[in-house]
Structure 1
Amino acid sequence: MTIDTSGAEQEATYPPEQSSEEQPAPPPPAGPRFILYLEGAEYAQNLRQLTLWTHHVLLPVYGREITSAAPWCSRWWEHQEAVAQLHGLWLAWAELTGPGSPMCGPANWHRDYLGHVMQSLRDPMGPFAGCKPGSHRSKEAPPVDALDPFGPPPEVD
């Protein structure tokens, strides 16, 4: 309680209340950016972190026997589709298993992310098609016609 100069008691608030107009809300923290949007050193650093997670967490626990029906490439980082999918899987893992995550986070990660991504990556027609243990096979991007089937983009004034 505080006493004002008139002697009346008033309820004190600690810290003193401030209107939202006086103090703007802080911007939300910037989360990690998707790896395909990165370049240079920032891309290299994210790829390094992804590689550590993939080699020390994902593959030792969830890597299974490599067969023609379930291929894996030992140079997976050279397949952009694999990098994109693994990065998304890693971001979901960090969010659902890190400090402050819900107790059911790991179960949700397994249910919602792991199986689908690993099945997509290890599909015989997936990004590692043609790769065999100790043998990487580069993929070429499909050709894109110079003419857009929808016509040229509209002109900007």
Structure 2
Amino acid sequence: MADEPDDVPELDVPVGMFEDIEDLKAQVASLTTLVKQLAGVEDGEPGEASADEEETAGGEAAEGETEEEWQYPPFILLLDPPEYDDELRALIEWVEGVLVPGYLAEPSADARWCHLWWEHPVAIARLHAVWLAWQELTDPASCGYTGPSVWHRDHLDPALRELRASTGPFGGCVKGEHQIEHRLPSLVPSAWTHAED
């Protein structure tokens, strides 16, 4: 051929290498399709808006179309009833069913705990944050092998240090003596009982 340069070296490439390259191309195409599906991207290059998206991008969504927005878990102290009550009930189930039996030893002057912890807003806020982190970091699909370790190190241990310290929210709550006035509920919330709605 006249178009080929004269000094092209002959390469001895194994035939199996071409098969490997084709397999890799197929895997990349499959993963790209999967990423697009998970990201909600239609056909086309990443970053390109589809024709439908371009029509509705300037303002209102098409009639009958609802836009789904990612919802992060709420900060419990900002919730109003009945959402607050539902979230607190679920938190109480987790604290009494997982945290207390698995992680809390007998309370002492150095490691305080209040059996009416839900009467302390600071405790509710900290324990709710630990619980949300636990939900995320113990899910193998999203956290891998290190999630539980990260949860212990970054969330549980610091929260328990703050809660159980002598200067924490349970500072006056040793053996039934309380720093704040607790109201006694008609039914003590538990992991195994729920108030009738």
Corresponding residue number in structure 2 for 1:137:
179
Amino acid at match of 1:51: I
Gaps of 5+ in 1: 1-14, 140-157
Identity of aligned residues (%): 44
RMSD (CA atoms): 2.2
Corresponding residue number in structure 2 for 1:128:
170
1:78 maps to 2:119: yes
Greater length-normalized contact order (CA 8 Å, ≥ 6 residues apart): 1
1:136 Cα offset (Å): 3.7
Gaps of 5+ in 2: 1-41, 45-49, 62-66, 182-197
Q: Output the CA distance in 2 between the equivalents of 1:117 and 1:35.
A: 16
Contact 2:126–2:159, Cα closer than 8 Å, also in 1 = yes
Corresponding residue number in structure 2 for 1:3:
none
1:93 Cα offset (Å): 0.9
Amino acid at match of 2:78: Y
Cα gap change, 1:136/1:101 in structure 2, threshold over 3 Å: closer, same or farther?
A: farther
Contact 2:172–2:179, Cα closer than 8 Å, also in 1 = yes
1:119 maps to 2:161: yes
Q: TM-score, normalised by structure 2?
A: 0.57
Amino acid at match of 2:116: R
1:52 maps to 2:93: yes
1:60 Cα offset (Å): 1.1
Q: Output the CA distance in 1 between the equivalents of 2:92 and 2:177.
A: 19
Q: More helix per residue: 1 or 2?
A: 2
Corresponding residue number in structure 2 for 1:95:
136
1:109 maps to 2:151: yes
Q: TM-score, normalised by structure 1?
A: 0.71
Work out the number of aligned pairs and report it.
125
